[in-house]
Amino acid sequence: MKRRRHATLGEIAKDLAQGKVTARQLAEESLARIADPAGEGARAFIHVDTSKVMHEADAQDALRRAGRAPSPFAGIPFAIKDSFDVAGEVTAAGSALLAGEAPAETDSDAVAAMKRAGFVGLGRTNMTEFAYSGVGLNPHHGTPLSVYGRTERRIPGGSSSGSAVAVADAMCPVALGTDTGGSCRIPAAFNGIVGYKPSAQRVSKRGVFPLSPSFDSIGPLANSVACCAAVDGLLSGDQRPEITAKPGPLTIGVLRDYVLDGLDEHVARDFEAALAALRKAGHRVEEVWFSDITEMPALLVNGGIVAAEAWTIHAPIVARRERDYDPRVVSRIRFGEKVSHDDLALLRHRRAELIGRFATVARGFDAIACPAVPVIPPRIDELAAEADYRRINGLCLRNTYVFNFLDACAISLPMHGEGAPPTGLMLARPNGGDAALFAAALAVEQALA
């Protein structure tokens, strides 16, 4: 059966329930797209075990025939970022230097939650080495290209690059990612899909290779807000009824400070069009000022908290095997060595202050809005020079990182027209507001449609 390229989880679940498609057929279709030499599967995926995939798909078909499907999603394929433990597989986190490590003994909590619901793991997706970049380049495994402008070879966004491209190219309808500074939302914006960053404590990080424990979070990349909400519910154990769009008019706060500086013409045009669509749908759109976030460049000197925590994790590995790292990744990790204990204490204190300030600023709004990324995906060759790499990487991370620093939950959803360069609209709420953010994002998605 030939399926629509970008079906949602709800649509696929309905077809499975009605017997219009089987888990085996879904797996075969996904594997064929991954193997297509004309596509990006060879770069989007680092590892695929075909026999294992088909065994798991057949097992879910057998459970469904017996009336024992563990969830409506049983049999749907999903992809797993290379930073997640999968029992029997090495967790290399996009690097070559961990390839010889022992395989994981158990699944990470996130992968286990997906499997309990009957999702079928397709394989491990490519990523920026150790998740430390917003552009998505990987010199060890190759770089999957953005769905936009393939002949121009544009970056996929990072660090969850392979997960985003796998969903955008319909190799699977959903993939797991991590988000420390924007790693779900940036590649989602650059590939025209939805990416979610939950409140950091919402989803267990056990069994996931860390970058910065204070900032790391785990979220899905998928084809719709509802898809992300459904997967987030599984990952977090949130047993609420299915989230629906918030009824009545929303009140959306448009953040004016910092995040609107230097937008390229495509992003600026799409953002204004998105706000106009929201007003036309009857929602209230109001300006919000939060001047404190203009401090972000100063708070990121030498990589800030993230670099300091990354250095703590990597210092012993760097001491032994620095030459085996991506040079651009290890050079950024090394900045963390320059962050003193006193500096780190001051940064954490200021972060706590800004988290509290954001909760006050966001009060009364259903969501705070801004573009997810200020630019459309640049060409890979634009990052050849080191200075350009650092500038573009910083620009890609600029807006999304704000909400990691503020310990918020945030989502990026497409705001571009068909055939246009991909751009993302980001919506955010203070920590713990995940369910309310999904309800608002569903309403926004309907207005933009």
Using alpha carbons, select from 67, 2, 64, 60 the residue that is nearest to residue 28: 2
Residues with Cβ within 8 Å of 248's Cβ and at least 6 positions away in sequence, in order, are none
Scored b (16 or more CB within 10 A) or e, 101-126 reads eeebeebbbbbbbbbebbbbbbbbbb
Report yes or no: 167 and 184 within 8 Å, Cβ to Cβ.
no
The answer to whether residue 20 is catalytic is no
> Given the structure tokens 């286990």, which residue do they identify?
112
Report yes or no: 102 and 67 within 8 Å, Cβ to Cβ.
no
| Catalytic choice (30, 81, 133, 163) | 81
| Catalytic choice (95, 108, 133, 159) | 159
Dist CA 78 CA 171 (whole Å): 9
CB atoms near residue 331 (< 10 Å): 13
**What's the angle, vertex CA 355, arms to CA 345 and CA 227, rounded to 5?**
120
| Catalytic choice (83, 146, 183, 217) | 183
The answer to whether residue 214 is catalytic is no
Element (H, E) at 42: helix 41-44
Dist CA 375 CA 133 (whole Å): 16
Dist CA 304 CA 127 (whole Å): 22
Q: Identify the three-state secondary structure at position 78.
A: strand
Q: Could you tell me the two tokens for 121?
A: 């793991």
The answer to whether residue 183 is catalytic is yes
Active site residues: 81, 159, 183
